[in-house]
Structure formats: C-alpha cells, structure tokens
Structure 1
C-alpha cells in the first residue's frame, strides 16, 4: 500500500512563545520551536506515525534548495520517502507569535515555481497501484496558476488514483468546477460558504451545501467545524462526528491530521462511520502533541472509540451549541 502527499508550497513553522505581545516593544522569547510543515508534509508525518512502516508513505511536491534540512530530517526520522523536487530559493517560513491566548501569524515569502518544476512533480506521480491514495493539499507558490490543483487531480484520476483534496481559495474553486473531481474533499465552513456563494446560517444549511457538493460527483465530502466536530457525507449517508477536545497541545495542523485519518481510512477500505471516527480521532490526538505528530496507535484507537456519531439530520435538527463553529 502506498499513500502519497503532494505539497507544492511547504513551510517551516517557527513558533515563538512570549509572555505577552506588545507592539513596538522588545520581547524575550520563552521558547522557539521549528517544524517542517505545509499541509501535505503534515499529512505525511501523521500517516507515517499511524502506519509505522506498514505502508509506504511518499512526500512529493516542491522544496527550496536553500533550506531543505528540516524536511530531510523529518523524512529520515519517520521513514517517509522523499520525492520532493528541489527548486531554487528558500522554502517559506511561517512565524507564529504565541502570547497568552492569542497567536499572531507572520507568513514570509518563499520560492517561486514554474511549469518545468510542476512537470517534474507530475512525472513522479505516475503509475499508482490498486488502493493507493494521493492527498493534494495546501496553497500554491508564486508562479503557478490557480488551475494547478485541478490539473493534478485530473491527471491522477486519469491514472486510476484515489485523490483527497484539501486546499482553499481560487485553487479549490477551480478544482470543484472541473470535469475531473477528487474522490474526497475537506473544506471548512468558510470554504464551503465560498463554494456555495453565500453565508451558511446554521447546521441545516451546512448539511444542504455539503450534500449539494457531493451531488456534483465527489464521493466523500467532509466539512470540518472546529470545536463543533465534522460533517461526513458519503454514499452511505451523512453523519456528524464529534469528540471533546483532549490535551493541551497546539491546534496547528489538526485539520491536516484529520485529512491523514481520512486518507488512511480510505486506503484501509473502511466504511463511512469508521472514516468519521478515524478522521475525528486523528485531529483530536494531534492536539496532545506539538508539531505534525500523532501519539501511539493504541491511543488514537482509544479516541476513535470515544467519538460520538449521530445521523447528520439529527445534528442539523438539534445541534450542540458548538455545532456551527468554524
């Protein structure tokens, strides 16, 4: 079994912890942490933790020539196959200033890419095997058009690959309007509203929009709702899954962990309820740790058993107070 991730715009996540943030003042950091990141890299890291060598995990995409060390170290430590195409320049750094209950994000510019680099990525995505799953996630670097994700999905589907898509903005809009659609997609509420073209006032409208998106031909639509859990719409019906927040780790990458859980469950041939349990448990388990990591498999499986699953129609008719959270 092979699971691949495609990250065209990875990032080094640098988290700086402060007592408080005062504009214009000099600050002394309590701690600094750097993690190789980017949505697909986070997904690959969580998949490697889950399978523990029982599946081949490949990280593909683009990586800056000037600062690949953090990524190479992550891939080596977790046994992830490094299929990243090196391009001139630096992979971007995302700085997160964490002070009290607030986080301030400063995203630095990174490398630009061109058609030749993208063509090399596509060449490395050839010949998927039966049951293989490819996750295409994250934003696009400068130089690549908004249609890039749609083109990647079309190429992968033409080869028989199963594709999970997690992106946003124009790349997501182009992919959802294309003739070749992904097998699964995971928008959050805001991204679903963008697709619908109007605000979604509550659970009933969220469910209707998700089912409308699935009716276009996408096998699985998962809408992440933050503390309100997630909505899973598939051929077997529609379910709402929720698990109370556990642990006190960073929520950065929890959505990517959910995507990893979904991709792993699809690769393992699980049905809708188990996909919902696994995706939800991955996201909750990630909260117990910093960086793109999962705890031991037994701990994640214990969380899976605690996930509350109800029919989506019941959730829409009688939502919990947090159900409409983003």
Structure 2
C-alpha cells in the first residue's frame, strides 16, 4: 500500500503564475519594449515539485489554486507526472510579474498577495488540507512547506502543519520567511533553507560573512525544538550546510546564467532528493548545488536530465568549517 504514496508532498498554499518579461534595458517611467515574454507556473512549492519530478522522484502537490487559470498548472502537472491534489477555489490564482533587464542581468519582481478568504473558510481549508496529507504521506515521506502564506492565514500555519506531519512519522523541509517562518522553525522542522537575509531576520542580527552565517546557524541548532539541519543559500557565494556535527560550504559551479528565478527552490528539491537517496551532508550539498546550477541555465522551474545533474554534482567543491 505504502509504495503507492509519493515520496515527496510539496505544499503550495500561495502558488502563482509567473509572467517573465525580458527587456534590453529597463527604464522606469518610460515605455519599454519587451524582447520576449514567458508564462510559467510558479510559486515555491510548485517549483520544488517540478524539479523533483524532472529528477525522477515521485512527487505530489497540494494547497490551493484558482479555478479560472488552473489549466496551465494542470498542463505542467500532467507533463511531469506530478500527482495533483490541490483544492480549487473560485477566481484566479495570483499572477506575479518578473521584469528581466538583459543588460544588467537584474530581475525585478512584482508579486501579488494571493486570494483573500474569511477566517472560517481558511480554517476549514486548512483542516481539509491536513486530512488530505494524512492520505498522502507514510512514515519516511518528505513534506516540503515553502513560500508565503496567502493574506489572513494564521501565522502558526506552518508550525501546525509541521507538528501534524511529524505525528504521521514523516519529515519536513521548511522554506519560508518572516513571522510564518519564525513560528514554523519552533516546531523543529527536519531541515530549513533560509537565505542569508531570512536567517539574519530570524536570529535578529546582521550576517556579514560566511563565518557569521555559520555561527548563526549553530546558535539556531542549539535552541530547544531546533531544526536538524540548516541550509543557507547565499547566491553567488554558494550555500552553507550546517548540522550538529559539521558545517560545509558548497561553492557555486560556473554555469550559463539564464534566470535565477526558482534557483532556491531547485536547491530545496536537491536537498530532499539527497535525503531520499540517504546521502550524507557533503553529498547532499553537492546534489543540491547541482540542482540549483542546472536550473540557472533555464527559464522556469526545470532541470536538465538526471545524469547531467549528477555530473554537475561531481564538479561541486566543498570546504569545511572547523
């Protein structure tokens, strides 16, 4: 029976359609002519599921999407063999606009907040979500909780989700920010993946260099109900992987840069794929970095073939902090 369960369930409470517009040079307050436009199904949880599916990991998605523009989501799920367990709401899934300046390489994000529901409707939907997760996970499964909460959702949403998933004997990776992240971290998720800014906000101090990030991660790991592993993505500086035994820096692989959108989500997918494969921290760091590098060369949440990703992982240089 348990063999039919997906190995990973990605929870996307606030997915989005990403409209990416490329311009040669963005000029604010003027008419800009787009060179190209692309519409991608997005939102952190869906990006994670998309990358895991590309790597051949059995993956399901749940959360909420709007009925009126669900077709593009369904097309992606069908194409990648992702098990669609979303709840459908009336109206549109939110649309996020990304403006890519080809000359500077900068991306400007304009993100919509998401659907607004009454508190009773949110509570009812959350309870249905937990019940649905009951039927999807088994001991040893992974649940990825990532992204922002929609407007009005209680700040303890991720915290309650993590506690519930742990009661089922499954594992959780949390990738969020702000108050929802802070509350969720207190429920001892197995792995968290903040970026440097999110970790600084969580710890309440400025993090200037890799040493200060490692110190902050170790401080977090020493708290009661702490996560098991802290992964901190630092963009061009690589990523830090810290557990109670070791702290490693995975250096980025030089790669063709097409779009940074979803690179952190690709890294999350790589971390989870590594857990499922039973890899240790250094091999986890290699695979997660390879996922991120593979994604950087593509627009949208897509990876090259699994063998290509594994070859990239062999190229990742790891250094250790004493």
Moved segments of 4+, more than 6 Å: none
Q: Which residue is equivalent to 1:213?
A: 220
Q: Which residue is equivalent to 1:5?
A: 10
Report the TM-score when normalising by structure 1: 0.91
Contact 1:236 1:272 in 2 (8 A): no
Contact 1:60 1:84 in 2 (8 A): yes
Q: Which runs of 5+ in 2 are unaligned?
A: 1-5
Deviates more, 1:240-249 or 1:299-308: 240-249
Note if 1:115 corresponds to 2:115: no
Q: Which residue is equivalent to 1:140?
A: 149
Q: Which residue is equivalent to 2:307?
A: 298
Separation in 2, partners of 1:226, 1:235: 24
Separation in 2, partners of 1:205, 1:24: 40
User: How many residue pairs align between the two structures?
Assistant: 308
Q: Which residue is equivalent to 2:22?
A: 17
Note if 1:50 corresponds to 2:58: no
Q: Following TM superposition, by how much is the alpha carbon of 1:203 offset from its aligned partner in structure 2, in angstroms?
A: 2.2
Q: Which residue is equivalent to 2:67?
A: 65
Contact 2:8 2:143 in 1 (8 A): yes
Q: Following TM superposition, by how much is the alpha carbon of 1:25 offset from its aligned partner in structure 2, in angstroms?
A: 2.6
Note if 1:94 corresponds to 2:96: yes
Separation in 2, partners of 1:106, 1:225: 22
Q: Which residue is equivalent to 1:321?
A: none
1:133-161 Cα distance to aligned partner (Å, 9 max, x none): 11000001112111111111111111111
Q: Which residue is equivalent to 1:311?
A: 320
Separation in 2, partners of 1:175, 1:245: 34
Q: Which residue is equivalent to 1:40?
A: 45
Separation in 2, partners of 1:56, 1:182: 21
Separation in 1, partners of 2:31, 2:191: 46
Note if 1:262 corresponds to 2:271: yes
Output aligned runs, 1:123-162, within 5 Å: 123-127=131-135, 128-162=137-171
SS of residue matched to 2:268: helix
Q: Which of 182, 207, 212 is the aligned partner of 2:189?
A: 182
Q: Following TM superposition, by how much is the alpha carbon of 1:288 offset from its aligned partner in structure 2, in angstroms?
A: 1.3
Q: Following TM superposition, by how much is the alpha carbon of 1:268 offset from its aligned partner in structure 2, in angstroms?
A: 1.6
Q: Which of 272, 275, 278 is the aligned partner of 2:287?
A: 278
Separation in 2, partners of 1:221, 1:165: 10
1:159-204 Cα distance to aligned partner (Å, 9 max, x none): 111000000011111112x3x3100000111111111111123222
SS of residue matched to 2:250: strand
Q: Following TM superposition, by how much is the alpha carbon of 1:60 offset from its aligned partner in structure 2, in angstroms?
A: 0.9
Contact 1:87 1:117 in 2 (8 A): no
Q: Which of 155, 165, 172 is the aligned partner of 2:174?
A: 165
Q: CA RMSD in A?
A: 1.4
SS of residue matched to 2:64: strand
SS of residue matched to 1:170: helix
Note if 1:76 corresponds to 2:78: yes
1:40-81 Cα distance to aligned partner (Å, 9 max, x none): 100000000001xxx421011111122111110100000000
Contact 1:243 1:306 in 2 (8 A): no
1:233-260 Cα distance to aligned partner (Å, 9 max, x none): 1244111111233012101000000000
Report the TM-score when normalising by structure 2: 0.92
SS of residue matched to 1:233: strand
Separation in 2, partners of 1:18, 1:139: 27
Q: Which residue is equivalent to 2:107?
A: 103
